[in-house]
Amino acid sequence: MEEHASLLILFMELVSNFREIMRRTLLLNWFVHSYKHASIVFPFIIASPRYFTKAITLGDLTQISSAFSHVQSSLSFVLKSYAKIALWRSSTKRLIEFEKSLNELRLAKHHSRIKIIVSSKVQSIQIKALTVQIPLNDQQILIDNLNFLFEPHQNVLITGDISSVLVSFLKNKYGFLK
């Protein structure tokens, strides 16, 4: 039941994130289209009083509009590149988080009490006094002092997906999750 609740919470967060993306996309599209349409008439609104007072000709009005269009096009770089900038930013954030995780793993490996001993004389895989605990503040121990010895050519069958194998192992060996 707890798994269902946590999955429901994760799904609701996913839906909320999707709605926020759609809302921001809608606002951005509204702004871009409004900006684009306003930029067409803006130079005419600004220069038309001079045209109606005969201070400039129709040709001058069109040249003002054309010059404004070029300036506006150059200044629209951020609007035109917003999707690429957002993609770059999200990729950069993911890479920074990935590098941070790698550094944490390196640090954990350095401070780990797990010792891997490779010997050409010994042909088996041996696990001695393995303790598995949840890496939270409470440090709840899931498996304590587990010992295994896998000899060469020994048949070991593990079936199912990894979560069901782990759950079955914990249920049968240690009586968890009853």
User: Higher model confidence: residue 35 or residue 88?
Assistant: 88
124 vs 26: CA distance, rounded Å:
61
Query: Between residues 150 and 178, which one has the greater pLDDT?
Result: 150
- Both tokens of residue 103? 């550094």
Tokens coding 47:
């220069």
Give the pLDDT of residue 176.
47
- Which of 52-66, 78-92, 150-164 has the highest average model confidence (pLDDT)? 52-66
Continuous H helices in 53-148: 58-75, 77-111
Residue of higher predicted confidence among 128 and 48 = 48
Report the distance separating Cα 68 and Cα 42, nearest Å. Answer: 9
Highest mean pLDDT among 60-64, 74-78, 82-86, 170-174: 60-64
Instruction: Please state, in angstroms and rounded to a whole number, the distance separating the CA atoms of residues 52 and 60.
Output: 12
Give the C-alpha separation, 31 to 119, whole Å: 67
Q: Tell me what pLDDT residue 15 has.
A: 95
Q: pLDDT tens for residues 73-131?
A: 888 888 888 889 989 999 999 999 999 999 988 888 787 777 777 777 777 878 888 87
CA 39, CA 70: separation in Å to the nearest integer?
A: 11
- Phi, psi angles (nearest 5°) of residue 165: -65, -45
pLDDT at residue 152 in the model: 79
